Amino acid sequence: MGIRRILTFPEPSLRGTARPVENITGETAKTVEDMALTMYAAPGIGLAAPQIGLDQRIIVLDVAPDDEEQGKEKGKHLIHVVNPIIVEADGEITFEEGCLSVVDFRAEVDRAARVLVRGWDVDQREIEIEADGLLAVALQHEIDHLEGTLFIDRLSKLKREMYVKRVKKALREGRPIAQRRAASETN
């Protein structure tokens, strides 16, 4: 199918709990491929299946999409995880986040500084990813999407309401929410 449309807040299907993938098949590999294409095209550093309307626990990430060593070959740092779970989390980090599903808004979010994530790859191998810094932040952000949680839910009510009001006003006036500015660190 290729590049998919990314759903944006307040689309209700971003709010559900995604279902675990029970059988990893060629279809799963195709989904991962489409998610990666969609993420790179956006451009973003992460994408979760519910963001393209799929009720499945799959995430893709590439926190260095423009790495010079990568040359013209996209995807050198591509990570995908099927049915990811956070098995360890410690420390604290505050990072300015954005989201392909939360148009034209960024804010600082507190997360664990280091995580250990377990899951599966499309070759049915069990995988483990230990991460800190931006990758740890992005993994937590994407796994949140599988629970229907957006980064705006992790802000103070005041900050969140500022954004929600802006979106509601735009919808009420029948105009599109301001176009997302190009930002490389958006997931």
Tell me how far apart the alpha carbons of residues 174 and 101 are, in angstroms, rounded to a whole number: 19
Query: Judged by CB under 5 A, does residue 187 bind Ni ion?
Result: yes
Q: Which residue is nearest to Ni ion (CB)?
A: 99
The answer to whether 114 and 89 are in contact (CB under 8 A) is yes
Cis amide leading into 43 (omega within 30): yes
Which CB sits closer to Ni ion, 140 or 187?
A: 187
Which of 142, 147, 161, 185 is labelled catalytic?
Answer: 142
Other Cβ atoms closer than 10 A to 94: 11
Size of the site for Ni ion (CB under 5 A): 2
Which x/- pattern, by CB under 5 A, does the window 80-109 give for Ni ion? -------------------x----------
* Alpha-carbon torsion, ordered 59, 183, 161, 49, to 10 deg: -20
- Nearest distance from residue 71's CB to Ni ion, in Å? 27
Query: Judged by CB under 5 A, does residue 186 bind Ni ion?
Result: no
Structure tokens at 14: 């971003």
Which CB sits closer to Ni ion, 18 or 24?
A: 18
142 among known catalytic residues: yes
Which CB sits closer to Ni ion, 4 or 24?
A: 4
Write the DSSP string, 49-96: GGGGT--S-EEEE-S-TT-GGGTT-TTTT-EEEEEEEEEEEES-EEEE
- Nearest distance from residue 153's CB to Ni ion, in Å? 11
Rule CB under 5 A: which residues touch Ni ion?
Answer: 99, 187
